[in-house]
């Protein structure tokens, strides 16, 4: 029916067609494999992206909780500072009032009360208070008969044997007489 040439031509055309079909089939398989790999890569990337996003969201929620926690701690600390300042102010006012009362009761001679009120304190009065503190504790210091005199000569500390206390004595400077020889 067909001649040899026709059979060869048909077989060559069939083989060419089969080769083209085979090439196209291989290309389709490669494309499907590539799509499958791409889908697997996308799934892995999508999973990784989901994990990263979950981590970011979790971190943001944790940061918000931490922020709220530290804000509350700071608020409590500031309230405590305000409370301590108020208590210190009350204590300062009370100490001031007690120092004024003590200063009034001692005719202005109490060194601690003068310091509390911010008044000037005579260093000689401090020395007298220190010596009287020694006497009160039972460790009476040895005193010279004439006491301790200041460098200016108008103040001295004397021991009053009758009272058993040290006293600060102010000497009135003698007026300089113009008619003195």
- Bridge partners of 165, per DSSP, are 160
Model-level pTM greater than 0.75?
no
Element (H, E) at 165: strand 165-170
Determine contact, residues 133/148, Cβ cutoff 8 Å. no
CA gap 64, 135 in Å, rounded: 66
What integer pLDDT is reported at residue 1 of this predicted model?
53
Nearest to 156 by CA among 140, 139, 172: 172
CA gap 36, 24 in Å, rounded: 18
What integer pLDDT is reported at residue 25 of this predicted model?
92
pLDDT tens digits along 127-152? 888 878 877 877 656 656 667 766 56
What integer pLDDT is reported at residue 150 of this predicted model?
64
In angstroms, what is the C-alpha Rg of the chain? 53
Residue-by-residue pLDDT tens, the chain, 181 positions: 566 778 888 888 889 999 999 999 999 999 999 998 888 888 888 999 999 999 999 999 999 999 999 999 999 999 999 999 999 999 999 988 888 888 788 777 778 887 888 888 788 788 888 878 877 877 656 656 667 766 566 777 787 878 877 788 877 765 555 554 5
Give Cβ neighbours of residue 125 (< 8 Å, ≥ 6 apart): 109, 111, 168
Domain boundaries along the sequence of the chain: 1-119, 122-173
């Amino acid at each position: 029916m067909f001649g040899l040439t026709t059979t060869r031509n048909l077989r060559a055309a069939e083989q060419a067609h089969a080769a083209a079909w085979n090439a196209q089939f291989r290309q389709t398989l490669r494309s499907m494999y590539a799509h499958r790999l791409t889908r697997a890569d996308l799934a892995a990337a999508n999973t990784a992206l989901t994990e990263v996003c979950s981590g970011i969201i979790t971190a943001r929620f944790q940061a918000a909780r931490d922020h709220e926690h530290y804000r509350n701690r700071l608020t409590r600390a500031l309230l405590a500072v305000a409370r301590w300042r108020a208590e210190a102010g009350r204590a300062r006012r009370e100490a001031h009032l007690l120092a004024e009362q003590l200063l009034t009761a001692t005719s202005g001679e109490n060194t601690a009360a003068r310091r509390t009120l911010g008044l000037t304190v005579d260093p000689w009065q401090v020395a007298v208070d220190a010596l009287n503190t020694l006497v009160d504790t039972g460790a009476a210091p040895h005193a010279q008969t004439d006491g301790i005199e200041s460098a200016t000569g108008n103040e001295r500390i004397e021991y009053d044997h009758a009272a058993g206390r040290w006293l600060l004595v102010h000497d009135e400077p003698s007026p300089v007489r113009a008619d003195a020889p």
